[in-house]
Structure 1
Amino acid sequence: MAVLLVLSAVAAIVLYHLVSSYRSLARNIALAKSSGLRVVVMPWNVHGVLWLATNPIWLPILGKLPASCKGLWFDLLDPEWAYRLGYKPFAELGTDVFMVACPSRISAFVADAEVVTQITTRRNDFPKPLHMYSRLNIYGRNLVATEGSEWRMHRKLTAPSFGEKNNELVFLESLHHAQCLMRLWTGPGGREEKTINDPATDTMRFALYVISRAGFGVRVAWPHEEEEEKQAEEQITGADSIFGSKVPPGHKMNYREALGSLLHNIMWTQMGPPEYLTKSPFKIHRTVGTAVIEWGKYMDELFEGKKAEIASGHSTEGMDLFGTLIRGSGILDEKTTDLQKSDILGNAFIIMLAGHETTANVIHFSLLYLAMNWASQKRLHEDIDKNLGGKPIKDWSYDEDFPRLFSGMPAAVMNETLRLLQPIINIPKSTAPGRPQEFSMGGQQYTLPGGTEVSLCAAIHRNPKYWPAPTNYKSTDGLADTDRFRPERWLIEEKPTEDFEDINYDDEDLRGPSGEDTSAQLFKPVKGSYIPFSDGYRSCIGRRFAQVEVLAVFAVIFSQYSVELAVDEFASDAEVEKMPAGGEQRKEIWKKAADRADHLLTKTMGSIITLQLRGDTIPIRFVRRGRERFLFE
C-alpha cells in the first residue's frame, strides 16, 4: 500500500509538472507570436544550467531520432549553435530576427545591424540580464555586473584608466612579453624549431602578464626569465611589484598560480564560498577556493600599497589602474561616496578577467588561421616589413608604428579572426518584465514582449547582407565566403559604408577609449554588423587596449617568424625532411593536420565565459622566415 501511495504521489507530481509546462509553453508561444516575428518552439531552455551541464549526453541520443522528427528546433538544442551554424538558421527562417519559445522563457536572436544599433543605443530599454553576471561579483560589484545609476558610477570610476595616453605603456609592455613568448617557443637563440603542443596556455600567460603590468604595475616573470636572473632584473626595472615562481611570505600560491587557477576555473567559484571550497573532497575545488583567497590577498596588498603611495604624493605614469580607481573613488580623501573598497577590487578583477582571456583567444586563433592560410600569412609578412622598415624592436614606438599596423594587414587579420570567432557568441540584453519594446526592421515595426531575453548574435558576422563575397567568387570546397578566413576582405578598395560616429555619451565622464573599432583605411562594415566588442554605451571599455596588445605581438612574431601547423601526429621531422619540398607527400600530411585543425575550430569549441577549444589542442611550430616546410604553389 505504501509503495502504491508513493508511486501515485510521484505520478501526480509528474502530471502536474507536465500540465504546468504545457500551459507555460502555450502562453509563451502566444506571447512570442505577438511580436510579429517568426517563432521557433523548443521543448526546454537550452541555456539553463541543467541543459548546459548535460547536453553532451543527450544530444547524441536525440540525434538518433528519425529525420522527420527533427527540424530547426533540433539544431538550436546546441547551446553553441550560433558559432557552429552561423547564419544558417536565420536564412532558413527568412528573417534576421526570430523568437524562441520554451516553457520557462521567451528569447530573441538578432542578426540585423539596424536592430542591433537600436538595442545598443537604447540602454535603458534593453538592459543587461544581470542574473547572468552574478558569478562575477567575487570580490565586489563591478562595471560588468551592474545597470542603471550603479553602472554609471562604475563606468565613471573605470573609464579614466583606458584613455589614449595609456596605450603607449600597453604597446611597450606587449613588445616585451611578446619577445619573452618567442624565447619560450623558439629557445634563447630564437632558432629552435620545436612543436608547441598547447599554444593556448602560453597566449593566456602572455595576456595575463601584460594586463598585470600595464594595469597594476605588477611584472610577472616568465620561468625562463627567472633562469636568466641578471637579464630579468634589468628588464623588470620600473615595475612596482615583481612576482615570479616563489611564494611570498603569508601566501600559499605564487601570483601567477593564484591568478591562473582562478581565471581558468572560474565556473567552480559558483559551488560555494571559497572557505567551503577549500574543504571539498575534490582537488579542483580546493585549488580554486585557495586561488580565490590568495588572489584577493594579492589585490589587497597592491591596493594598500598604492593607496599609501598616493597619500604620500607619489605618482606613476601609464595606466596605473589601481591609482586611477583609488583617486576617482574619493576613498583616499574620505569624501562622501557610495563607492567602497570592494568596488575597486571588484572592478580590478573584472578588468583582469576580461582583459586577458579575450585577447589571448584572438592571438591564439589568429596563429592557427595563419598557419592554415599561407597566402594571408605571406601578405602579413610583407605588410609588416613595409610598415616597420626593418627597424629593431627597441626602436618601435606607439605613436609612429601602431597607426600603421592598425591600418594594414595586421589589423585585417585581427578583425577577421574576431569576425569568425567572436569571444562572446551571444551578447545578452533583455526587455524588463511588463515593459515591451518596439523596434523597426526593414521599414516594419515589431514588438519584443516584456521579459524577453535578447541575444545579439555572432551570426551577424556571417550575414551575407553585410559581408559581400568578391566579384565572381566561386567556392571550390562548398564553403561560403562568409564562413571562410579571408582577412583580405578588409583591404578592399572600397569607400567606407558610412562615416564613423563615436558614441554620443550623455555624460563625458562615461567615455572610454574613443576611436573606431576598425581603421578608417580598412573596409568599413555597416554600423551594428560588426560587434566583437559589442556596441553602443556598453561596448568594451578595453577595446583599444586589446587592439594595441594584439597588433604588437603580431609585429614581433611575423617580423621574424612564420607559423606552421605541426604534423608530428602524421610524420616525424626526419620523414618530412626526406620528402621533396612542395611535393605531394608534404601536401598530404599538411592537409591531414589542416583538416584536423579545421574540424576542431569549426565544430568542437565551447564557451564557459568565452569561446575556446575545450579538451583539444592544435599544435603549431615557429620557424625563421625562409625556412618554411609547407609551401605549395
Structure 2
Amino acid sequence: MSLIPIAVAVLVAYSIINYAVNLRYHVNEAKRSGLPYVVTPCSPFWLPWQVSHKLWVPIIKLFPKSWWDGWLEIMIPNFAYRTRHDWFAKLGESFLVVSPNRLVMMTDNAETIRTITLKREQFPKWTAVYNILRMFGENVLTTEGSVWRMHRKVTSASFNERNAALVFREAIAQTQGMLRMWTGPTGTRTEPLKSLQHDTMKLALNIISYVGFGMRLLWPGEAHPAGTDPKIVKYGSHKPSDGHQLSFTDTMEILLHYLLLLLIIPRWILRLIPSKKVKQAVLSYDEYVTYMNELLDEKIEEARKGEHAEGMDLMGQLAKSCFGTDNKDATLTREEIIGNAFIMFVAGHETTANAIHFTIIYLATHPEAQRRMQKDIDDILGNQDPKDWDYDSLVNPMTASMIGAAMYETLRLVPAVSEIPKKISPDADESFVMDGTRYVIPKDTGISLVTVSTHVNPRYWPTRPSKITPGKSNILDYDPSRWFLTKEKQDGQGSESVAGADSEDFGGFQGSDINAQLFKPERGSYIPFSDGARSCLGRRIAVVEIIAALAVIFRSYSIELAVDEWATPEQVDKMSRDERAEVYKKAQDKSLWTVGQASTRLTLNLHDGMHVPVRIAKRGEEKFVDWVDKE
C-alpha cells in the first residue's frame, strides 16, 4: 500500500513534465512558423474540453481577467460564429492556437484558404475530426488518399445537370406539399408557425429520399395513390412495413433528431440506459440499418437485372458500380455503401434545410429584401403554374435574381458549417504565402478554415453603412443587394491562381457556385461548400433545391415575423402604422438575436427548442412586410 502514493506522485510529476515539454515544443514550433499565436492550456478541439467547458469556464473566470482574457474566448465552442472577424482583426488573418495537445492554424484569409483547398495532397482533410461519422461505414467524407478517390469516383456519377433538373421538379412538388400542410384546404393560416425548422428539415429529407433513393415520403394527410409500386409504399408509408417497428419516415426523423447522441456514445452503453427517448434513438439506429440493408438488396437485384430507377438513385448507382453485371469485384463493401448513403442523407438534407430555414427567417426579418425577391419571382415566373416551370430556361435567371442573392447571403452569414478542418501531414512541414510573406506550417498541424469569419472579412466584400448598427458597416447585416454590387471589389482583386493546384477531375459539378451576373467574391473568401477537390459534391443540387423552394413559397405567400409576444392579432388590427412598425421592430430585434444564438453540433443551426415564430400570409393580405422598412 505504501507504494501507491509514490506511484501517484510519479505519475503526477510525469504528467506535469510531459505537459510542460509538449507546450514548450509547440511554442517553439509556432515561433518558427512566423505566424502570430495564442497559447491555451489545452486544444479548443479536444473533446473532453468541449464536453465539459461549461463547468470550467466559470471557474477560470474567478481568476484575474489578465490571466485568461487573451485566450479563453477562443476556447469556447462556437467562438468564431460569436466573434466573427474580431480575433483575426486583432491577431492576424492566420494565427496559431498553441497547446500541449497540438498546433492548430486558424485562418480567414482568402489567399491562404484557396492555397489549402486547391492543394489536396499537401493539405489533406483532417479526417480524425470526422471519426464519429464512420458509424455506418467509411464514406466519401471520412476517407483520404486513394481510398477517398475510389469513394469520390463512385459517388460523383449521379451529380449532374440532368439530375439537378429532377431535384428542381421534386423540390417544387414537395414545397407545395409543405404549403398545403401549413395552410390546409383553405390556403390560409391564422396561427403562428413555430415548426419552421422541423418542417424545412422534413422538406429536404423528402426531396433527397426520392431523388436520391427512390423513396416517396409523404406529408401528413397525404397517401399514395392506388397502384403505387409496393417498394415506394414500403418506404413512404406512415405505418411500419412488415418486420419493422417504425416506419421509414419515423426512423429517419428520430435518427436525425438523436444523431449526435448516437454518434458520440457507444450503442452498448445506450442500450443499458432505461430512458424511453434513448431506447427510441437506439431503435431508430437498428431500424435504419435494417431498412438500408433491405434497400441495398433491392438495388443490387435491380443492378444485376440491368434495371434503373428514376432520378439520381444514389444507392442504385453505388450498387450498380459495385455489384452490377459489369463489375465482377465489388469496389465498395456493403458497409461502405450504407456509410455513403448515410452521409448523403445527412449532407443532402440538413445543410439544405438550414439554408431554406434561415433564408425564410431573414426575409421575414428584412421585408425590403422579401418584397424585392417577390418582384423578381413575378418578373421571371409570372403566373405560370410551378409544375410547368422549366429548369433549363429558369435556373440561370433565378440564381441571377434576388432569389439567388437571398440564398447566397444566407450562406454567407449562416453557412452549414462554421469551420472546415484540414491538416498538415505528420511527415513534413508545408509553407504558404499570405500577402507577400511566406510562412511555414509545422508538420502535423491542424488547420481550421473559419468559414463564418472569412465570409465577413471586410477586405473581400462590398459594404454600405449599416441600417441596424449606426456608425458600422453592414458587413454583419443580411443584405442580399450586396450581390448586385459587382464592380468595386472585383477591380481590386489580384491573381487567384495557385501554383501546384490540383488539376485532376474528381467528378461532380465543375461550375461556379455563384451566378456569373452577380458579385463574384475573391476565390477563397466564400466557401459555404468548401472548394477544390474536397468541395461538396451536392452543391449544385443544393442551390437548385433552395431556389425552387423559395420561389414556390414566396410566389403566392409572404412570411412575416409573429408578433404575438407583444400584441395579439386583434390588437395589431387596431394599431396605427407607426404602432405596427414599433411592434414589428421588436420582433425583428428578437429574430436577429435568436439567429445569433445558433451553434454547431453537426451543422450550424438553432438548438434546444430555440426558434423564430412566423406567420404565413397570402400576398396582398400582409400586416407588416408589404410596407415595413420602405424607404
- Normalising by the smaller structure, the TM-score range is over 0.9
Contact 2:321 2:331 in 1 (8 A): no
In structure 1, list runs of 5 or more residues that go unmatched. Answer: 227-231
Between the aligned partners of 1:389 and 1:361, the Cα distance in structure 2 is 28
Question: How many Å apart are 1:449 and its aligned residue?
Answer: 0.3
Residue from 578, 602, 609 that aligns with 1:583: 578
1:485 aligns with 2:478: yes
* Residue 225 of structure 2 is aligned to residue 233 of structure 1: yes
Q: In 2, Cα distance between the equivalents of 1:237 and 1:555?
A: 31
Q: CA deviation at 1:22?
A: 2.2
Kindly provide the amino acid, as one letter, of the partner of residue 526 in structure 1. E
**Is the 1:275–1:289 Cα contact (8 Å) retained in structure 2?**
no
Query: Given the alignment, which residue of 198, 203, 214 partners 1:217?
Result: 214
Q: What is the distance in 2 between the residues matched to 1:343 and 1:315?
A: 21
Question: Could you say what secondary structure the match of 2:459 adopts?
Answer: coil
* Residues 173, 338 of structure 1: alpha-carbon distance in 2 compared, 3 angstrom cutoff: closer
Question: 3-state DSSP class of the match of 1:550?
Answer: helix
* Deviation, structure 1 residue 219: 0.4
Match of 1:53 in 2: 51
SS in 2 for 1:301: helix
Aligned-partner Cα distance in 2 for 1:492–1:568? 37
The question of 1:23 aligning with 2:9 is answered no
Where does 1:382-401 land on structure 2 (aligned, <5 Å)? 382-401=375-394
Counterpart CA distance in 2 for 1:71 and 1:216 is 51
Moved more, 301-310 or 412-421: 301-310
CA distance in 2, matches of 1:70, 1:588: 41
> Residues of 2 paired with 1:197 and 1:444: CA distance?
51
Calculate the TM-score normalised by the size of structure 2.
Answer: 0.93
CA distance, structure 1, for counterparts of residue 268 and residue 48 of structure 2: 25
Q: How does 1:91-240 map to 2 (within 5 A)?
A: 91-93=89-91, 95-226=92-223, 232-233=224-225, 240=232
Q: Is this contact kept in 2: 1:419–1:530, CA < 8 A?
A: yes
TM superposition shift of 1:45: 1.6
Measure, in 2, the Cα distance between the counterparts of 1:592 and 1:219.
Answer: 41
Letter in 2 for 1:233: P
2:412 equivalent in structure 1: 419
Q: What per-residue deviation string (whole Å, max 9, x for no partner) do you get for residues 66-125 of structure 1?
A: 4434433122122211111111101011x2110110111110011111111111111111
1:23 CA drift (Å): 2.2
Deviation of 1:494 (Å): 2.5
Q: CA deviation at 1:389?
A: 1.6
Identity %: 38
Counterparts of 1:156 and 1:488 in 2: how far apart (Å)? Answer: 38
Q: Which residue of 1 aligns with 2:294?
A: 301
| Residues 376-432 of structure 1 deviation map (CA, whole Å, 9 limit, x = unaligned) | 111011111111122111211211222211111111011100101111111000001
Shift of 1:207: 0.6
Conserved? CA contact 1:161–1:320, under 8 Å:
yes
1:139: Cα distance to partner? 2.0
Matches of 2:242 and 2:419, distance apart in 1:
43
Residues 1:466 and 2:460 are matched in the alignment: yes
In structure 2, the CA distance between the partners of 1:365 and 1:65, relative to structure 1 (3 Å rule), is farther
Judging changes above 3 Å, is the alpha-carbon distance between structure 1 residues 121 and 271 closer, same or farther for their aligned structure 2 residues? closer
What is the Cα deviation at residue 144 of structure 1? 0.4
After superposition, the Cα gap between the structure-2 partners of 1:138 and 1:195, relative to the gap in structure 1 and judged at 3 Å, is: same
| Cα pair distance change 1:20/1:501, threshold 3 Å | closer
Q: Deviations over 1:519-546 (max 9, x none)?
A: 0011000011100000000000000110
Does the 8 A contact of 1:561 with 1:624 survive in 2?
yes
Given the alignment, which residue of 525, 537, 547 partners 2:521? 525
Query: Is 1:365 aligned with 2:358?
Result: yes
Q: Distance in 1 between matches of 2:13 and 2:228?
A: 67
Match for 2:151: what amino acid? H
Among 516, 521, 542, the residue aligned to 2:538: 542
Query: Secondary structure at 1:588's aligned position in 2?
Result: helix
- Determine the C-alpha separation between the residues in 2 that align with 1:576 and 1:6: 73
SS in 2 for 1:317: coil
Which one-letter code corresponds to 2:101 in the other structure? S
CA distance in 2 between counterparts of 1:75 and 1:419 reads: 23
Quote the Cα distance in structure 1 between the aligned partners of 2:168 and 2:477.
30
Structure 2: gaps of 5 or more residues: none
Alpha-carbon distance in structure 2 between the residues aligned to 1:330 and 1:310: 7
Amino acid at match of 1:394: K
CA contact 1:274–1:293 (8 Å) conserved in 2: no
Cα distance between partner residues in 2 of 1:461 and 1:443: 22
The CA RMSD over aligned residues, in Å, is 2.5
Give the match's secondary structure for 1:371: helix
- Contact 1:223/1:244 (CA < 8 Å) preserved in 2? no
| CA distance in structure 1 between the partners assigned to 2:496 and 2:315 by the alignment | 32
Equivalent in 605, 621, 628 of residue 627 of structure 1: 621
Q: 1:308 to 1:330 in 2, by over 3 A?
A: closer
CA distance in 1, matches of 2:4, 2:589: 55
Match for residue 87 of structure 2?
89
TM-score by length of 1: 0.92
